[in-house]
Chain A
């Protein structure tokens, strides 16, 4: 079955950096768009970034462009999110999601990881 496992979350000071990883299994990873979604404490879901199966196309939330970078390693079935210049408002749970049926960029996120908690605090 499809499995997504995030890692790399933790406590970081404002201005610091963190790299999240997502290990994928149970589907044809290289065929699928992958997306990062986050959720601040007590708040709603927020779309962050998406990457195509080949890794050639990436799109970002406007407010995060330049600080966050999405990437993938299809040989390792892994998705990454490099987060730089972190701010207190970046605190939240970060979810790795997949359109695991190999659809298109408009496809739904049919699979979600358990989430990685990122806390930005001094």
Chain B
């Protein structure tokens, strides 16, 4: 089965840039989506189809996808960005949805 690998945690100071990666075999050929989940809340879509932002999501959130790594970049990090972030895609070979294990972003 297809596996998406995320680092368990990332820490960054306010105002700095956070990069959260999602590794997978030839992931660059697939459409990757990113979700933010704060404690006790349902996830929220922050980036879809590698690099598109839903309405209402700040421009500080951006995405890229190439080769074996997809990346969610959060610029000018704020305290309110502290959350768990999950990558996700549809794996067409097996007809399954797949989530990465999640990355906890800590704002120092």
Residues of A near any B CB (own CB < 8 A): 35, 37, 44-47, 50, 59, 61-62, 95, 105-110, 112-115
Contact = CB atoms under 8 A, between A and B. Distances in A.
B33 to A, nearest CB: 4
A95 B92 contact: no
Contacts, number: 57
Interface in B72-108: 84, 86, 88-90, 92, 95-102
A95 B44 CA distance: 12
Q: Size class of B's contact patch?
A: 20 to 34
Interface of B: 1, 30-31, 33, 35, 37, 42-45, 48-49, 54, 84, 86, 88-90, 92, 95-102
Contacts of A59: 95-97
Given A106-B31, A106-B90, A109-B33, A45 B43 contact: yes
